A and B are shown apart, each in its own frame.
Chain A
């Protein structure tokens, strides 16, 4: 690859990643930001708030706030820097393991570009930040496969596994792929090496879990972990479709959305080409195993949101890179067979351009217009980007939340607080005021399988110190979490204790969009 091409590709990818700074919050990013802010204000997950995700993502978001301040772009900037760092590391690792600098470079460029071409809800997710621990795990396994410090590497791999576990439970399946690879497919790894690696990995998991567990025990948050696990288990059972439907129809559609149609086709050509290489490094088997285990975890989750597939990106990129390289070579060879000026050459070139156009169109490239460029131009031109968020996202009340926050801000004293009973809790963020207890979306309290104890604690907290404004949302149904079609307004009326507390403590509500704002009498 020529240096100029490399520079252009690198700059292009950096530019694409840089544009994600302009992305507004999606619902998940908002939830994580609130969790991060709560942590910065002294709250602790499981003790003070609940979410479907384990705690690490909230600490990452808190770090974004600490480093760059209270902005929507803070976590986007952290995401960009994280990816630049992680992808540089991935490049180093791939260069060593794939034994091809060009494939390593192309893989990293492809990752950066594909990642940045996702929409605002898909980036800065747990799967995004899982990249680093998963590369560490891969790197340590590959090193141990050559009998290089298996004990030390195993321990680090164990710590990486814990990181994945406290990021998202299903991500912790990645070590299964590493384990299978080391045991069955690493020819140089002796039995002793494998055993030492496995023992040290378990050791690493135990030590790191003990440290994390010790912290949560010290802050009094461990009591509810059992309840939380039960709650998450029930949440995991919620699915829009039957198992067969999910497996056969929704899963491949999700993968097409995440990778782009032609990217997958090129990846399969790359896989075929690689399978023909006689001197193929064994690490490709490791990558296939990681991909397969990743797919299985997505299938187990059965939600099939496009961001779930981000976990597959890193191990799929070398195949896509090989596919692209091979197709390019084929094209060059074919064209060299026709002399310049020959009508057949022109006709073939035309066909090639049409084919290339179709490949680009059915990759993720056109999304450059619908996401990176769209948000950048909206923000730069100071247009109503909030309305665009609502238009783009299903059931989003993004703009309304800003309107509610703007209307309440002048009426709040320094010590006044608000409480949001709804799925969209960004009003906390826009007001920069947080409810120390249960200041996240209400999903954890409205599901039929939520422990009674959580509800009572919320009610006690509200009764003890009633916030100045109680804001209830309507039309915020989230069937994929709650399993029913009720909105928060309906949930409020189905919970007589909370409903009567609101009636007795607050005046008649004022409605702004989908938000019913109750002011304390």
Chain B
């Protein structure tokens, strides 16, 4: 690869990565951001607020806000810096493990494009930040498999498994892949190394979880944490279709959406080329295949199939894509040059260009225009992106949120508080005012399997210090979380105690968009 090409690719990847700064919040990002703000204000996860995700993602968002301040772009800036550093690490590991500098470089470049082109909603997720622990885990797994400091590496892998668990429970599957790799595919032939690795992994994992339990105990969050595990189990049991349908149809559709059709075909060609090498192939590719297989398995277990969930496999699959792509490019170049002279040769060139065009079209390529270019242009033009965000996803009321904030902000004194009974928690972020008890979405409180203690905790808190405004969202049903088709207004009406508290304490003002406004009397 020429130096100019490298500089060109790095610059392009850098520019694309920078465009993350222009990405607005999606639903998930706003939940994490508000969770982060709550933590900055002393709230403790599980004790004061609940979400489907464990606490690390909120801590990351809190750090981003501490560093860059209260902006939508803060966490994106953090994400960019995080990815720059972690991808450099990825480059170094791949260079060492795959023994091919060019392949390591191409893998990193492909990762950047795959990641950023996923779009505003699917980036800066728990899976995005899982990249670093997963890479370290992979590296340590490789070291252990070659017989290097098996026990130390095992303990560290166990700790990383715990970190992944606290980022998102299913991400722990990556440690399963590393364990299988060390147990069955290690190159070192010393006996009992596999068992030693497994044992020390368990120790490391137990140590981290023990520390976490201690933290919960000291912050008084342990009881709610137990309720939370039961609540998340209930949430995980919500599926929009039968198991067969999920496995057979939704899963590959999600894979297509996250990678793009032709990227998958190119990766398959890369896999085929590697498989052809037989025993000459480096053992680490087996580790990568295992990481992908376990990653896919964990997505299947989750059964939600949001495209961002597949981001956890990007790092393990990019070498295959890179191999497929570089071979294809080399091959195309060869073919293209071999067609000379006749009309037939020109026609063949035409077909080749058409084929390459189709591959580019059915990759994530076109999203370059609908994501990085689109959001950057809107931001540069100073356009309000909220309406645009709403057109991308159903049940997104970003524009309504801005209207609510514009209408209520002038009426609020510095000490006034608001409470949202709904899902569009970006409202808190826009107001920069937070409800310390259950100041996230109301999903943990509206499911049939919600802990009654949580409801009581919220009600007590509201009664003790009623917020100035109680906002209730409607048409915001989230069947994939709650398992029913009721919106927040419907849930409010179902919960008679909360409903009568609102009726007795507040008077209703005209609704704004999808928000009913209640002002304290």
Contact = CB atoms under 8 A, between A and B. Distances in A.
A253 B265 contact: no
A272 B328 contact: yes
Interface stretch (B49-57, B63-71, B114-122, B270-278): B270-278
B178 to A, nearest CB: 15
A292 B279 CA distance: 38
A366 interface: yes
B272 A256 contact: no
A1 interface: no
Contacts of A334: 275, 278-279
B240 to A, nearest CB: 16
Given A248-B361, A269-B272, A272-B331, 16 more contacts: A180-B347, A185-B344, A264-B265, A268-B265, A276-B331, A285-B351, A288-B351, A289-B351, A292-B354, A326-B272, A330-B278, A333-B276, A334-B278, A334-B279, A337-B279, A366-B248
Given A261-B252, A269-B269, A272-B269, A338 B331 contact: no
Nearest to B286: A351
A330 B293 contact: no
Contacts of B272: 269, 272-273, 326-327, 330
Contacts of B247: 361
Contacts of A252: 256, 261, 362
Contacts of B512: none
Nearest to A292: B354
A447 B343 CA distance: 48
14 contacts: A184-B348, A187-B344, A252-B261, A252-B362, A261-B255, A268-B269, A326-B272, A327-B275, A330-B276, A338-B279, A354-B293, A362-B252, A366-B244, A366-B248
A300 to B, nearest CB: 16
Interface string B250-270: 001101100001001100110
A275 B361 contact: no
Contacts of B81: none
A347 B184 contact: yes
Contact of B335 (A248, A275, A343): A275
Interface residues of B, number: 36
Interface in A84-102: none
A344 B348 CA distance: 45
B352 to A, nearest CB: 9
Contacts of A256: 252-253, 256, 261
Contacts, number: 83
Contacts of A268: 265, 268-269
Contacts of A265: 264-265, 268
A19 B361 CA distance: 39
B238 interface: no
Interface in B197-255: 244, 247-248, 252-253, 255
B8 to A, nearest CB: 26
A264 B184 CA distance: 31
Interface in A354-376: 354, 361-362, 366, 370
Contacts of A362: 248, 252
A179 to B, nearest CB: 12
Given A268-B268, A330-B272, A362-B252, A185 B185 contact: no
Nearest to A326: B272
A361 B279 CA distance: 27
A354 B290 CA distance: 11
A125 to B, nearest CB: 21
B451 interface: no
Contacts of A333: 276, 278
Contacts of B268: 265-266, 268-269
A185 B347 contact: yes
A273 B268 CA distance: 12
Interface string B330-361: 01000100000001100110010011000001
B252 to A, nearest CB: 4
- Top 5 nearest A-B pairs (CB, nearest first) are A184-B347, A268-B265, A347-B184, A337-B279, A265-B268
Central interface residue in B247, B276, B355, by most chain A CB within 10 Å: B276
A288 B354 CA distance: 11
B99 interface: no
A343 B279 contact: no
B350 to A, nearest CB: 9
Given A272-B328, A334-B279, A366-B248, A351 B289 contact: yes
Interface of A: 180, 184-185, 187, 247-248, 252-253, 256, 261, 264-266, 268-269, 272-273, 275-276, 285, 288-289, 292, 326-327, 330-331, 333-334, 337-338, 343-344, 347-348, 350-351, 354, 361-362, 366, 370
A311 to B, nearest CB: 17
Contacts of A343: 184
A272 B275 CA distance: 14
Contacts of A344: 185
Contacts of B331: 272, 275-276
A460 to B, nearest CB: 47
A330 B248 contact: no
A337 B278 contact: yes
Nearest to B359: A268
Contacts of B290: 351
Nearest to B344: A184
Contacts of B256: 252-253, 256
Interface string B281-297: 00000100110010000
A296 to B, nearest CB: 11
A276 B331 CA distance: 8
Nearest to B185: A347
Nearest to A186: B344
Contacts of A370: 244
Contacts of A180: 347
Contacts of B278: 330, 333-334, 337
Given A265-B264, A275-B335, A361 B248 contact: yes
Nearest to B183: A347
A260 B293 CA distance: 19
Nearest to B245: A370
A354 B351 CA distance: 37
A337 B362 CA distance: 37
A256 B256 CA distance: 10
Contacts of A272: 269, 272, 328, 331
B256 to A, nearest CB: 6
A334 to B, nearest CB: 5
Contacts of B343: 184
Contacts of A350: 184
B348 A330 contact: no
A276 B272 CA distance: 14
A135 B278 CA distance: 39
Contacts of A187: 344
B403 to A, nearest CB: 28
Interface in B474-521: none
A184 B339 CA distance: 13
Contacts of B361: 247-248
A105 to B, nearest CB: 23
A256 B262 CA distance: 12
B118 to A, nearest CB: 15
A264 B265 CA distance: 8
Contacts of A253: 253, 256
A344 B272 CA distance: 20
Contacts of B185: 344, 347
A184 B342 CA distance: 9
A259 to B, nearest CB: 12
A338 B248 CA distance: 34
Nearest to A268: B265
A121 B182 CA distance: 49
B253 to A, nearest CB: 6
B492 to A, nearest CB: 31
Contacts of B348: 184-185, 285
Contacts of A338: 279
Nearest to A180: B347
Contacts of B366: 248
A327 B328 CA distance: 18
